[in-house]
Amino acid sequence: MTEGKVYYRVGRHTYCVNFCDEKNTTELLPSSEPFRLEKAPTPDETLLFELVVDDAWRPAQKGKEIGQFDCGGNNHGVYYLEDGSYQILVSDVQGRQCCLIQAVSDFSSARVCLNGDWVMRNFGLNNALMMVYAFAAADKMTVLMHASVVRKEGRGYLCLGVSGTGKSTHTSNWLKYVKDTDLMNDDNPVVCVCDDGVARVFGSPWSGKTPCYRNTEAPIGSFLQLKQAPYNKISRMKAVDGFASLLPSCSVMKWDRRDYVGTCDTVSKLLELVPVFFLENLPNEEAVKMSYEAMTGQSYESASVAKTESMVKSEN
């Protein structure tokens, strides 16, 4: 028995996954379960997209290759058809072809067929959802951002940087050294300028190697661009440098005008609302102290775990 249409809401956007055969079910999407809706949305709610999962589907034609999309270190081939639609061939880290996507130009409707064992299908469908979400939301003041994000006192703080720069290490040190801090997402949070004009960060079903799939949100406190160095130094970035920092962290197809312009508009608006800091750092507590005080505007001593422990000992 096929599952049919299943609905999810991520970052205040609702979308539908339509399973058309018995082989593919919601069991392929365990990380999406916290975002699954118990019932279909009301008819007046506009869906971000509908993704049809149908292994029997085959494209009528193959598009012309226009580029490679880097998705967490995996390059996926992107093809363009004359009617304006896109095809994306998803391959895993071993180079095995897991999924073929075909989507209309604004990604409001897409179809996939999956290939391989459960691991390949899970990888293919999750990557398909992540890309279709990012590209469909690009002109809706919403971006998927390659970042690790922690929350402190109700605000989200995002650490940016290319793979290997220590984003996860820095946020894990926040969790270690700063009391009452929690991890919202470790790889691909959703960032949105909402209708009320507030920049917010949301958990998502996509969190890289760290299984952190939390249906949660927070206003953004600040962004932090990281760079490894033999010392610790932090500074606030100017708008132009902040733009150059945030844009490469967003999932964007530069060759698609709607996608690219929409993403640039979102980044520009984010820079009006949220400060961006640049931290050259070592993976130690001093770096956490620097970033915490700059990003929150508060004293680190009052928030550090070490301070709390020493106060408890003195009271005893």
What are the structural domains, with CATH classification, of the chain? Answer: 4-136 (no CATH), 142-315 (3.90.228.20)
CA distance 127 to 175: 28
pLDDT in the model for residue 8: 98
Q: What is the pLDDT of residues 33-72, one digit of tens each?
A: 999 999 999 989 999 999 999 999 999 888 898 888 776 6
Is a pLDDT exceeding 70 seen at residue 309?
no
CA dist., res. 246 & res. 199, Å (int): 14
Buried b (16+ CB within 10 A) or exposed e, 239-251: eeebbebbbebbb
Please say if the pLDDT value at position 136 is more than 60.
yes
Is pLDDT of 104 > 70? yes
Q: What is the pTM of this model?
A: 0.93
Q: What pLDDT shows up at residue 72?
A: 61
Q: Say what percent of the chain tops pLDDT 70.
A: 95
Kindly tell me if the per-residue pLDDT of 250 is higher than 80. Answer: yes
Residue 138 phi/psi, 5-degree rounding, is -60, -30
Alpha-carbon distance of 125 to 102, in angstroms, equals 13
Least confident of 101-115, 156-170, 288-302: 156-170
To the nearest whole percent, how much of the chain has pLDDT over 90?
82
Determine phi and psi for 258, rounding to 5 degrees: -60, -45
Closest to 158 measured CA to CA, from 305, 300, 291, 4: 291
Give the max Cα distance, the chain. Answer: 75
Mean pLDDT score, 249-264: 93
How many residues are given for the chain?
316
Residues 137-142 have a mean pLDDT of: 97
Confidence of residue 240 (pLDDT cuts 50, 70, 90): very high
pLDDT of res. 255: 87
Confidence grade of residue 315 (pLDDT, cut at 50, 70, 90): very low
pLDDT on residue 70: 72
